[in-house]
């Protein structure tokens, strides 16, 4: 049995609830989701794309929601009227409902989504505010730094 109790962390930290929740989720890998499979790609300097294999789902059966630091993709298959008339010899295409959650970093926004050939593409971009972007500070020569000669009056 590999179970670690992180409850003492909740009592002694303020503002790190998300970190403790992530540690809790890492402690239970047997509950990890495997459906639907997905890829995360880097498409530009600050651009990303999540590609999910959602064969058999239509645009109307998939919902995408971005809230705070989480992206949730849900798929619910509509009831088929002809389902009881079809007899499958082998059924390999999963039509089960799913819910996949992704943790987004700060300042990552969803810019769009598209569904082509059974692949759902979700485009993300990371836009840092101007105040957080690194800026170059120029070093200038100080014009008033010339050594000055002190003249003393002779008595």
What domains can be seen in the chain, in order of their start residue? 1-32 (no CATH), 34-129 (2.60.40.790)
Tell me what pLDDT residue 15 has: 54
The tens-digit pLDDT sequence of the chain (155 residues) is 566 666 665 555 555 556 666 666 666 555 556 788 999 999 988 899 999 999 888 899 999 999 888 899 999 987 666 556 778 888 887 778 899 999 888 888 899 999 999 999 999 998 877 777 788 888 887 766 666 667 777 66
Tell me what pLDDT residue 55 has: 86
Tell me what pLDDT residue 56 has: 84
How far is Cα 110 from Cα 70, in angstroms, rounded to an integer?
Answer: 11
Q: How far is CA 80 from the centre of its chain?
A: 33
Distances (CA, A) of 76 to 54, 97, 149: 11, 5, 85
Tell me what pLDDT residue 139 has: 86
How far is Cα 50 from Cα 38, in angstroms, rounded to an integer?
Answer: 7
Distances (CA, A) of 90 to 55, 86, 117, 142: 16, 12, 22, 81
Tell me what pLDDT residue 82 has: 57
């Amino acid at each position: 049995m590999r179970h670690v109790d992180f409850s003492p962390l909740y009592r002694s930290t303020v503002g790190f609830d998300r970190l403790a929740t992530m540690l809790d989720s890492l402690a239970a890998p047997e509950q990890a989701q495997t459906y639907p499979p997905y890829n995360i790609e880097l498409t530009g300097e600050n651009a990303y794309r999540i590609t999910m294999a959602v064969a058999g789902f239509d645009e109307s059966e998939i919902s995408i929601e971005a809230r705070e630091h989480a992206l949730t993709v849900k798929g619910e298959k509509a009831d088929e009227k002809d389902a009881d008339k079809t007899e499958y010899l082998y059924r390999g295409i999963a039509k089960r409902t799913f819910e996949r959650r992704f943790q987004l970093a700060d300042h990552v926004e969803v810019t769009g989504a598209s569904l082509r050939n059974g692949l759902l593409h979700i485009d993300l971009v990371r836009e840092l505010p101007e105040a957080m972007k690194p800026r170059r500070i120029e070093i200038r020569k100080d014009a008033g730094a010339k050594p000055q000669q002190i003249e003393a009056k002779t008595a």
